[in-house]
Chains A and B, each alone.
Chain A
Amino acid sequence: MTPTDPHSLDPLSLKKGAAEPSDETDARLRVSRREVLQLAGGAASLAAVPGAWAQTPTSPGSGPAAATRVRLTVNGEPQHLDIDPRQSLLDVLRETLDLTGTKKGCNQGACGACTVLLNGKRIVSCLTLAAMQDGASVETIEGLAKGNRLHPLQAAFVEHDGLQCGFCTPGQIMSGVGCIAEGHARSPEEIQFWMSGNICRCGAYPGIVAAVADAAGRA
């Protein structure tokens, strides 16, 4: 009775060596890279055009029932958008502006993954109607680093390994920035209490606390 691996592949034979890259491989890789780059660039440039994504192709008669115009300043950049009043700030960021760094974990206010700073305060963007935020300024994870220089809290997250899968991380970091600004990062216990609105299923909490404490100490 030899146990076999519960989910093993068909055994692969040990083959080693001589595969020089074929042109096929090369071409494929080049194409796929370009695709990815184009997509990112395309989305970014669309987002920069006022209202461009709000008028994404719609089928006849489906036009935003009552499109609302909002002006937001997102990471320092003014955005004029025509949006469906139902859209959450989270969906506007992710789907309209293609700022996908902010994550949707529950869409119910119960996880903190969508945390951003709204007029300087940390909030959950999934329960925020974008249409109610005309004139507001929003800071997301994408706007935190200055060029290639990470924000001290971002650097601390890497240094203290305050992340694993990374999915809660943008929310944790934005929440941590808020937490430090509020003056709620004076001890590990205090940080734990004030960072409990961000669930990390990977359980990176010890590193998260260390990172916030470290950045708070330097701030």
Chain B
Amino acid sequence: MLPFVLEKARSAEEAIERAAAGARYIAGGTTLVDLMREEVERPERLIDINTLPLSGIREEGGELVIGALARMAEVAADADVQRLQPLIAESLIEGASPQLRNMASIGGNLLQRVRCPYFRMLDVGCNKRTPGSGCAALNGLNAGHAILGTSDHCVATHPSDLAVALVALDATMRVRGPQGERSFPVEDLFRLPGDTPHLEHTLLPGELIVEVRVPGSDHSRRARYLKVRDRASYEFALVSTAAALVIENGVIRQARLAVGGVGTKPWRLRDCEAALAGRKPEKRVFEEAAKLAIQGARPLQHNHYKLELLPRTIVRALELTGEVA
């Protein structure tokens, strides 16, 4: 780990000012400390933002508001979250481990870095880590990599489970920067790698995630998060699906679908949603819609199975929404 200077944030303004000047925020540190130890991350200055009052979870007019510093475990256990958006709680407890969830913040979770093993290897090319150095995963071992949204420069998946749920639920986020505050859909936080995979998100220099807001909607009740993996816990998703359905008179009025483990960012599936709308909630319909998910997918040498696993996971997740009480 490279030496760094650690400061405690005394106010949001001050923190933002420092960050705009090049310092990095640190919250739970479960991404940052890990990668700093590997020297993949090399911040010279860290601002400990845990002193800032950004950890509240509350309901505001049917909208669920989650502070950026709320911990994964707190959010998952929160009564409002479980009542209003059980999908979020489910996506959270399927991620990481109880200990990590006690540490990891919501803001940090959205900004966690990829788990591509080559990203951590300083002795191979990685355009995300070192722009222009190549992508070792393209012709390396890539069973865990993305099939959607990839480019010739990067094929790493976005690892967050929570982000998949938030994107499905049309969540927005409020951020604050040197120029003041702005809000935008969580989906817009993430960038496709294109030929600039080192640019992962759309935050401007110094911008601090303040909170995430999840609008109340009819989707919330019939919503499930399904995470498929070889180990029953403590593993990132091979494929995951956040699915939510609004059913009226035996017909799907609206569907929400987002998937993880397959895209270079949390992947919303609007075509599939459209294909479900107005149809009966039955397996055949689910299967037809799920097929659309792999349109345009680009498998790599070792991840062809995701072409098969992705639609099946979607179908199963849709079925599970029917099992919600």
Q: Are B34 and A127 in contact (CB under 8 A)?
A: yes
Per DSSP, chain B at the interface is: mixed
Beta-carbon contact of B6 and A129 below 8 Å: yes
A109 vs B233: C-alpha distance in the bound complex, in angstroms?
Answer: 14
Q: Choose among A108, A184, A197 the residue that contacts B99 (Cβ–Cβ < 8 A).
A: A197
Q: In the assembled complex, which residues on chain A have CB atoms less than 8 Å from the CB atom of B1?
A: 86
Tell whether A65 pairs with B98 under 8 Å between CB atoms, given A128-B103, A132-B50. Answer: no
15 A-B contacts, Cβ less than 8 Å apart? A109-B34, A110-B234, A112-B99, A122-B102, A123-B99, A123-B103, A124-B97, A124-B103, A128-B33, A178-B98, A178-B102, A182-B98, A196-B97, A196-B98, A196-B232
**Is there a chain B Cβ closer than 8 Å to A175's Cβ?**
yes
Instruction: Please give the distance in Å from A135's CB to the nearest CB on chain B.
Output: 11
Q: In this assembly, does B48 line the interface, its C-beta being within 8 Å of a C-beta of chain A? A: yes
Interchain CB contact (< 8 A) of B30 among A109, A122, A184: A109
A85 within 8 A of B: yes
B5 interface residue (CB < 8 Å to A): yes
- Which B residues from 1 to 49 make CB contacts under 8 A with A? 1, 3-6, 26, 29-30, 33-34, 37, 48
A107 in the interface (beta carbon within 8 A):
yes
Q: Does B143 contact A (CB under 8 A)?
A: no
How many angstroms between the C-alpha atoms of A86 and B44 in the bound complex?
Answer: 12
A194 interface residue (CB < 8 Å to B): yes
Q: Does A37 contact B (CB under 8 A)?
A: no
- Residue A79, interface by CB 8 Å: no
A88 to B1: give the CA distance in the assembly, Å. Answer: 11
* Interface residues in A182-202 (C-beta closer than 8 Å to B): 182, 184, 193-199
Residues of A within 8 A of B232 (CB): 196
Q: How far is the CA of A184 from the CA of B98 in the complex (A)?
A: 10
Expressed in whole angstroms, the minimum distance between the Cβ of A185 and any Cβ of chain B is: 12
CA distance A192 to B34 in the complex (A): 26
Knowing A65-B3, A68-B6, say if A127 contacts B97 (CB, 8 Å).
no
The 8 A CB mask of A103-126 against B (1 = contact, 0 = none) is 000011110100100000111100
User: Closest CB-CB distance, B107 to chain A, in whole Å?
Assistant: 16
Complex contact A85–B4 (CB within 8 A): yes
**Given A66-B5, A179-B98, do A193 and B233 touch, yes or no (CB 8 Å)?**
yes
Interface size on B, residues (CB 8 A): 25
- Does B100 belong to the interface (CB within 8 Å)? yes
Closest to B232 in A: A196
Least distance between A68 CB and chain B CB atoms (Å): 7
In the complex, the 5 A-B pairs of residues with the closest C-beta atoms, listed nearest first: A197-B97, A196-B233, A65-B3, A121-B102, A86-B1
User: How many residues on the A side are at the interface (Cβ–Cβ under 8 A)?
Assistant: 34
Q: Which of A68, A112, A129 contacts B33 (CB 8 A)?
A: A129
**A129 touches which of B29, B99, B233 (Cβ 8 Å):** B29
Confirm or deny: A209 has a beta carbon within 8 angstroms of a beta carbon on chain B. Answer: no
Q: How far is the CA of A132 from the CA of B7 in the complex (A)?
A: 9
Q: Are B3 and A124 in contact (CB under 8 A)?
A: no
Besides A182-B98, A197-B234, 18 more A-B contacts (Cβ < 8 Å) are A65-B3, A68-B6, A86-B1, A108-B37, A109-B100, A121-B102, A122-B99, A124-B30, A127-B34, A128-B33, A128-B103, A175-B99, A178-B98, A182-B77, A196-B97, A196-B234, A197-B99, A199-B234
- From residue A120, how far is it (CB to closest CB) to chain B in Å? 10
Say whether B29 contacts A132, CB under 8 Å. Answer: yes
Chain B's closest residue to A174 (CB) is B99
Output the nearest chain A residue to B2 by Cβ-Cβ distance: A86
Closest to A179 in B: B98
Within 8 A of A (CB), among B99-120: 99-100, 102-103
B311 to chain A, nearest CB (A): 28
Q: Is residue A131 within 8 Å, beta carbon to beta carbon, of the partner chain?
A: yes
Chain B residue with the shortest CB-CB distance to A108: B34
The CB with the most chain A CB atoms within 10 A, among B26, B33, B233, is that of B33
Cα distance, A123 to B50, chains bound together (Å): 16
Q: With contacts A68-B6, A86-B4, A196-B234 known, is A127 near B98, CB below 8 A?
A: no
Q: Which residues of A contact B48 (CB under 8 A)?
A: 132
Our pick among B3, B50, B77 for the contact of A86 (Cβ within 8 Å) is B3
Interface residues of B in 62-79 (CB under 8 A from A): 73, 77
Residues of chain A within 8 A (CB-CB) of B233 are 193, 196-197
Determine whether the beta carbon of A127 is less than 8 Å from that of B234.
no
B6–A124 CB distance below 8 A: no
